[in-house]
A = this chain, B = another copy of it.
Amino acid sequence: MEERTEINSLGEFGLIDHLTRNIEIHHAGTVLGVGDDAAVIDHFGKQTVVSTDMLVEGIHFDLMYTPLKHLGYKSVVVNLSDIYAMNATPTQILLSLAFSNRLSLEALDEFYEGVYAACERYNVDLVGGDTSTSQKGFVISVTAIGEVAPDQYVKRSTAQKGDLLCVSGDLGGAFLGLTILEREKQIFLENPKIQPDLENETYAIGRQLKPEARPDIVEFLAEKGIRPTAMMDVSDGLSSEILHICKQSEVGCVLYEEKIPVHEEARALAMKLGLDPTACALSGGEDYELLFTMKQEDYDKITLNEQIAVIGYMTDAAEGAHIITRGGSKHAITAQGWNAFK
């Protein structure tokens, strides 16, 4: 009898590890392959950064409450975020779509309006792609290409003991936005006469439907002469991303709950929904902020930037990854990040 292993028994990261365990690198020009936010390619001595993401209807987005223009915008932004997370600047994207005939040309145009708005906002060119029909659902695949000065890219695997752990912006908002959109969808499905009540939650809903990437942080760090020791973007939730950096850098960390940046409106919404704001920041995904580590001596250079919070520091691997709560108790950080295979 043939063996059959269920894919979801491995989890997303276990699956990727399994599928890529036998990769052989043929080209000296492949500077960095699978395992980071993006790959780095040396072509003729200069470095190109590439990353790709796929968004699937019903898994990553719900057209019932996602305007197509926002979806086009977000599809581009989540990919650009991976390029910034390498300390690089995106320059071009490729876009492939599969869609059923349920989508009209006008609907596709709306989607592309969002794509072009993101290209304009982030100064990237759409240079290629592919369109096709699908049997069911809308599938979006974006590849982003960027450039970085030679050897200036920043990996996940180079954080060191004693480094400060920092994050940009605030966390948890996108997850709370999704929660409220899902709640209103259920109410609507049960009683289509009830109008959705979303007006007071524009902050969280905006974070979910129209996220932005953080070129400003990459530029600020460059201006101040700070090269992060490790960096990645927060797409799956803070705890999951911290564990990636710890594992790949072979370090531990201490994270302070009170230092985790949560927006005032997100905090109020979490309370209203009976959710713990810290749990939303740790486990909610899609904030697309930058998580990075840096040398302690650079601390003075960032204190005036309100968009950067120091949330902890890196330790020996043997000490593990922990969070110190407001109450002073210490807990191991576990990956409860959003996982497409759950």
Residues of A within 8 A of B (CB): 2-10, 12, 15-16, 18-20, 22-27, 29-30, 32-34, 38-39, 41, 43-46, 48, 50-54, 56-60, 91-92, 94, 96-99, 101, 103-106, 108-109, 112, 116, 119-120, 123-137, 139, 141, 143, 145, 147, 340-341
Contact = CB atoms under 8 A, between A and B. Distances in A.
Given A29-B91, A54-B98, A59 B132 contact: yes
A6 to B, nearest CB: 7
Contacts of A51: 94, 128
Number of copies: 2
Contacts of A131: 12, 15-16, 19
A123 B27 CA distance: 8
A136 B137 contact: yes
A115 to B, nearest CB: 9
Contacts of A104: 3-7
A18 B131 CA distance: 12
A95 B62 CA distance: 24
Nearest to A58: B135
Contact of A94 (B56, B120, B143): B143
Given A3-B106, A29-B91, A91-B27, A56 B134 contact: yes
A127 B86 CA distance: 15
B127 A33 contact: yes
Contacts of A54: 96-98, 130, 132, 139, 141
Given A27-B91, A126-B33, A52 B133 contact: no
Given A50-B127, A56-B139, A130-B141, 4 more contacts: A4-B105, A23-B125, A24-B116, A33-B125
A66 B134 CA distance: 18
Contact of A132 (B18, B136, B147, B340): B340
A114 to B, nearest CB: 12
A7 B108 contact: yes
A57 B127 contact: no
A141 B12 CA distance: 18
Contact of A26 (B106, B124, B130): B124
Contacts of A112: 19
Contacts of A97: 54
A261 to B, nearest CB: 28
Contacts of A32: 127
A92 B50 contact: yes
A53 B134 contact: no
Nearest to A14: B105
Nearest to A57: B135
Nearest to A98: B56
A59 B92 CA distance: 28
Contacts of A19: 108-109, 112, 131
B53 A96 contact: yes
A132 to B, nearest CB: 5
17 contacts: A7-B104, A10-B105, A15-B105, A23-B125, A23-B126, A25-B125, A27-B92, A27-B124, A30-B92, A34-B129, A41-B92, A50-B92, A52-B128, A52-B141, A54-B130, A134-B137, A136-B137
